[in-house]
Amino acid sequence: MTDSPTSPAVDLSLYPDGTSLDAAGRLLVGGCAVADVAEKYGTPAYLVDEGALRRTARSYTDAFASRHPDSLVLFASKSFPSASVIGVVSEEGCGVDAAAAGELAMALAAGADPARIVFHGNAKTDDDLLSALTAAVRYVVVDNLDDVERIARLAQEPVPVLLRVSPSLDAKTHTAMMTGHDASKFGIPSDQVADVIRRIRRESMLDLRGLHAHVGSQLLDLDQFEAAVRAVAAFERFGVYDLGGGLGVRYTSADAAPSVEDYADRLVTAVHRHLGADVELMVEPGRSMVARNGITAYRVVTVKRGVRTHVAVDGGMGDNLEVSLYGQAFQPSVVDRSGPAEIVDLVGRHCESGDELAHGVEVVSPRVGDLVTVPVTGAYCYTMSNNYNAALRPPVVFCRDGESRLAVRRETFEDLVRRECLLPGAD
């Protein structure tokens, strides 16, 4: 155990834009005291700064529209597949990237315009495609030849489609987030693209409008996006290009990430140079749209000091799988009080040794009942929330202008039991 006489400062630059401390030193997100929100809605809880989310969405649409008027920013709904979040970004001018029928249903429930929805999926069933065709989405992305067969069989009129191609690039990211290499399960390998284009054109129910490419996720080097544009330009030219998403974000104070403006500038410049200024351009930000705009609040349940100091909170891998799956580093803080610093492992309550939220981090020496916040959890944490140990998935709470409101309620034990069909005494 390592102690320091000073209190570790909360790095507000990792929290939603506008996060501050009040006169009493309490953490405010969206103008709401996190402690008050935690008291009202319980913990663990996902907090989303609605105002900051809206500003991020506008920064994306403005950045691309000012550089390339014929552009559409599609929110990658897989990063936070809640109608509440999809509705906010839709109101700010974003379309939606839906990677499954469930995400499409969420987008439609949120009031998203189907004409601004692009439908993905590497293993689309008949039902998936029927949902997209019935909704009349803007484009269906063809990922394989089975998509071609299914669309040709199910469609009643020609369907505007994009073809997902591999740019044959190894992204500088975690291997599980690499999607643009020829061995990926996504898209058409580069050496097969020309043959698949010819195959699509033989089908009267498929109207091939353009290409889609996505290098990977949590990309911090803008050169990779420019390389993807060059790779796509090597194929036949089209009038529509969807260049995916993948812009990375800062998770800790030591991280550096490009701004939305820098990303838009580099990508649009590359598009104009290699593909032309007269194409329809789409991008699909997810992580960079929502990650910083969400935090998770926990309560300390127990502190165990020994070879290492384990600080266990009332959540864990049931609400944040990023650490277990990708080894993602987070920077938690014990908030709303000062005290000596201590190096700890922040762990969860689940019966799994890998249930860890942060390893070897410096926080104010923790006590049972302390409020702990983990910033930059707006992306993929809600997405992958689960019922490990039959835990209840947390609520989503919107904070804006000092007011909080429930966006997604906390799951209940009744919710878990409701789907069981063989309970004692059941008919």
Collapse the DSSP code of 160 into the 3-class scheme (helix H, G, I; strand E, B; otherwise coil) and give the result.
strand
Taking only the tens place, the pLDDT of each residue in 76-120 is 999 999 999 999 999 999 999 999 999 999 999 999 999 999 999
**What band does 183 get if pLDDT is binned at 50, 70 and 90?**
low
pLDDT score, position 177: 43
Residues of the chain with CATH 2.40.37.10: 3-49+293-418
d(CA 141, CA 197): 13
pLDDT score, position 3: 44
pLDDT score, position 7: 80
| Residue 390 backbone class (left: φ over 0; alpha: ψ -120 to 50; beta: rest) | left
d(CA 216, CA 221): 11
8 A C-beta contact, residue 399 and residue 32: yes
Collapse the DSSP code of 74 into the 3-class scheme (helix H, G, I; strand E, B; otherwise coil) and give the result.
strand
DSSP 8-state code for residue 247 = B
What is the pTM for the complete model shown?
0.94
CATH 3.20.20.10 fits 68-290, yes or no: yes
Residues of the chain with CATH 3.20.20.10: 68-290
Taking only the tens place, the pLDDT of each residue in 298-322 is 999 999 999 999 999 999 999 999 9
8 A C-beta contact, residue 323 and residue 350: no
8 A C-beta contact, residue 19 and residue 27: yes
Place of tokens 């987030």: 177
8 A C-beta contact, residue 93 and residue 57: yes
Collapse the DSSP code of 88 into the 3-class scheme (helix H, G, I; strand E, B; otherwise coil) and give the result.
helix
Taking only the tens place, the pLDDT of each residue in 24-74 is 999 999 999 999 999 999 999 999 999 999 999 999 999 999 999 999 999
**What are the start-end ranges of the H helices in 343-402?**
none
Contacts of 9 (CB under 8 A, 6+ apart): none
8 A C-beta contact, residue 297 and residue 47: yes
d(CA 105, CA 383): 15
Shortest CA distance to 48 belongs to which of 291, 289, 288, 294?
294
- Domain 3-49+293-418 in this protein, CATH class: mainly beta
φ, ψ at 389 (rounded to 5°): 60, 25
Which residues are designated catalytic?
A: 351
The pair of three-digit structure tokens given for residue 187, joined into one six-digit string: 């898209």
The pair of three-digit structure tokens given for residue 198, joined into one six-digit string: 């010819």
Which residues pair with residue 97 across a beta bridge?
76, 118
DSSP β-ladder status, 45-49 and 294-305: antiparallel
- Mean of pLDDT values over 233-238: 95
Residue 5: asked if its preceding bond is cis (omega within 30°), the reply is: no
**What band does 250 get if pLDDT is binned at 50, 70 and 90?**
very high
pLDDT exceeds cutoff 90 at 2? no
d(CA 280, CA 210): 9
Element (H, E) at 55: helix 50-67
Element (H, E) at 105: helix 101-109
pLDDT exceeds cutoff 60 at 175? no
d(CA 88, CA 213): 26
pLDDT score, position 31: 98
State the maximum Cα–Cα separation within the chain, in Å, rounded to a whole number: 73
d(CA 178, CA 170): 7
Q: What percent of the chain has pLDDT over 90?
A: 90
Mean per-residue pLDDT over the chain, rounded: 94
Collapse the DSSP code of 8 into the 3-class scheme (helix H, G, I; strand E, B; otherwise coil) and give the result.
coil
